[in-house]
Structure 1
């Protein structure tokens, strides 16, 4: 009887530990997402963005968010940047997205992106980028100019995701 009771207790106690581990990881992910969203909201509030069509709150959990100033210098990168590229936010701040390009990045795609930026219109592209360790990855990018409430260009925002199907 005692042996059966000990096995029952041992089996019963292992489930909550696993559940807490899962719950703890999920809470940490939510904290990171919330911190990222808070930073973007602070930038948005400071520069009086017109956020109507950006859907930042919905996208920040599934995509890497990169915000540049009008000179294309990175002013914010969500925490997912490290997983996708190997770079930390502090390593990309002040640099341009060119840091992710390499020898096999399509010049045609880059030209089309540059034209969209110059015309201040949204674009969507799939490009070959490079991680910090030099390995290439396929990146889906949706980029958009961000205007303040007076209609003046304030920043550019990109929602990026590694395309694992390619």
Structure 2
């Protein structure tokens, strides 16, 4: 412990400060990596609004689906949150994560909003590969090309707490 001018400075407090900054930096780098992969998956068709949203929002998982809602890409956080590999998820509908605890009213609302190509924001009970339920906040946005044709949906997902 360093003592200066009648004050004690704990090296652990300094470490906590740097550790917090390190975690922020890692999170920012992961988001930038996600954006890089998204641009590749979407052939550069990623508007500035979506890019800003990804940089600003606190999410665990990104999921991109085709207009028919089959998964075409997930980020690394998907495996960490769900236990399913990227390879397993590709081609499936995100509804494979839902189970008996997922209210039908919620799944119907999501389905109707996506059918109308609206944005959806809410929470849903999903299930990990091991069957454990978890509460997930999701924000789903439609993505359009330069001709205003729907090309994909993107979902930003954040685990809220154990369901």
Question: Shorter-chain TM-score category?
Answer: 0.7 to 0.9
* Contact residue 50 and residue 149 of structure 1 kept, 8 A: no
Could you say which residue in structure 1 is the equivalent of 2:66? Answer: 69
Could you say which residue in structure 1 is the equivalent of 2:36? Answer: 38
Pairing partner for 2:141 from 114, 134, 144: 144
Larger radius of gyration: 1
Verify: 1:155 aligned to 2:162, yes or no. Answer: no
| Structure-2 change in CA distance of 1:60 and 1:89 (3 Å) | farther
* Contact residue 47 and residue 154 of structure 1 kept, 8 A: no
Could you say which residue in structure 1 is the equivalent of 2:101? Answer: 104
Secondary structure (helix, strand or coil) at the match of 2:49 reads coil
TM-score normalised by length of structure 2: 0.77
Between the two proteins, the alignment pairs up a number of residues equal to: 154
TM-align CA RMSD: 3.0
Secondary structure (helix, strand or coil) at the match of 1:138 reads strand
* Contact residue 125 and residue 134 of structure 2 kept, 8 A: yes
Tell me how far 1:149 sits from its aligned partner: 1.6
TM-score normalised by length of structure 1: 0.75
Could you say which residue in structure 1 is the equivalent of 2:13? Answer: none
Aligned partners of 2:75, 2:113: CA distance in 1, in Å? 23
Could you say which residue in structure 1 is the equivalent of 2:119? Answer: 122
Aligned partners of 1:33, 1:78: CA distance in 2, in Å? 10
More helix by share: 1
Tell me how far 1:88 sits from its aligned partner: 2.1
More strand by share: 2
Any gaps of 5 or more consecutive residues in structure 1?
A: 1-19
* Contact residue 65 and residue 72 of structure 2 kept, 8 A: yes
Any gaps of 5 or more consecutive residues in structure 2?
A: 1-17
Aligned partners of 1:22, 1:48: CA distance in 2, in Å? 34
Task: Give CA deviations for 1:76-101 in whole Å, capped at 9, x if unaligned.
Answer: 11111122111122221111101100
* Contact residue 84 and residue 131 of structure 1 kept, 8 A: yes
